[in-house]
Amino acid sequence: MKVRQLYISPGHNFFGHHEGPPGESPLVECAEIRCVAGRGIEGDRFFDFKDDYRGQITFFAAEVFEELCRQLGVTGKPPGVTRRNVITAGVDLNSLVSVEFEVQGVRFAGTAECSPCHWMDEAIAPGAEKWLHARGGLRAKILTDGILRVDA
């Protein structure tokens, strides 16, 4: 698995905003992020969110985002608009559900697919939520402390 991009956000723009406007918390692209076992990513909105939270870190495939953009005619948007933390290349993320895996020496447990929500249609383009069904990325728990870095 290659790490193409890393993102954090200090606040929720969509989570918990059902039937209201999205938030305005910035999305911060990082060269590296610090993963803390059982807690999440330092500086991210889900750090210490709740005990045993299954979405301490999220992954999204660059290949899926590129195909989504082609299919919907989207240009000029970074994959960070998906609000996932780690943009990957070269791995089928759905194959990691219910699997322990390692990236750059950090251990994770894949817990579930990141199901797309209605906000994807606003953040990316109309039709994105439907197109992303079963391709929304991966939620995982962080099992060991460590740092993830963008691969050169």
Residue 119's pLDDT is 82
Nearest to 133 by CA among 112, 111, 116, 113: 116
**CB burial string 30-40: b at 16+ within 10 A, e below:** beebbbbeebb
Question: Quick check: 14 pLDDT over 70?
Answer: no
pLDDT value at residue 83: 87
Q: Residue 120: what pLDDT? A: 87
What local confidence, expressed as pLDDT, does residue 17 receive? Answer: 45
Average pLDDT over residues 10-34: 71
Dist CA 125 CA 116 (whole Å):
13
- What is the spatial distance between Cα 1 and Cα 106, in angstroms, rounded to a whole number? 12
Which residue bears the tokens 């890393």? 6
What secondary structure letter does DSSP report for 25? P
Of 9-13, 73-77, 129-133, 135-139, the least confident:
9-13
Correct CATH for 2-10+26-94+113-149 of 3.40.50.300, 2.40.50.180, 2.40.33.20, 3.30.930.10: 2.40.33.20
Q: What is the mean pLDDT of residues 91-98?
A: 98
Of residues 4 and 49, more confidence is placed in 4
CA-CA distance, 15 to 116, in Å (whole number)?
11
